[in-house]
Amino acid sequence: MPGLFQLLSDEGHSSDAFLIRRLKQAILNGPRFDAAEADIARDLGLSARTLRRRLHCLETSYAQIIAEVRFAFAKQCLSDPQLTIGDVADRAGYTEVSNFRNAFKRWAHVSPQAFRDLIGLTQPGRASPLTQPITKASIGGRHLSARNTSKERPCLT
């Protein structure tokens, strides 16, 4: 089963894809998804301006890449039934659970708990409010997967 890094690196083999893959890896390996753009650019051997310009040419931004990495990471953590929503929020770099819930709803078009219900992780004794099968349409066209092989973060065992 492919790991989170492979999920994040499905852009292909061009130099642009290689930059995005390296950027995602640097963000994922960072302490809490809050590394400054200039620090990450330096780690990649680029100036902050060059990184911004290259990302702009790819019609993306540092903030968008961080959001993609956080979303993939959050989905992985939410697939671990031992972690609470608060644990996932903390590991994804949020100081407030409500901010994490809002961000997750923006990304997945469902709450973190509804996402768990959709992937079959309803907590014992709690009835699932969602009875329809999982489809791309039911989660806003986003792809659900429960890949769990990275060693960089505690919930990705």
Rounded Cα–Cα distance for residues 92 and 132 (Å): 28
CB atoms within 10 A of CB 55: 21
| Per-residue model confidence as pLDDT tens digits over 105-157 | 999 999 999 999 999 876 555 544 443 444 444 444 444 443 333 334 455 43
CB atoms within 10 A of CB 17: 14
All domains of the chain in start order, with CATH: 4-139 (1.10.10.60)
Find, among 106, 72, 105, 101, the residue nearest to 89 by Cα.
101
Neighbouring residues of 121: CB distance < 8 A, sequence distance ≥ 6: 78, 79, 81
| Per-residue model confidence as pLDDT tens digits over 41-87 | 999 999 999 999 999 999 999 999 999 999 999 999 999 999 999 99
The pTM score is 0.67
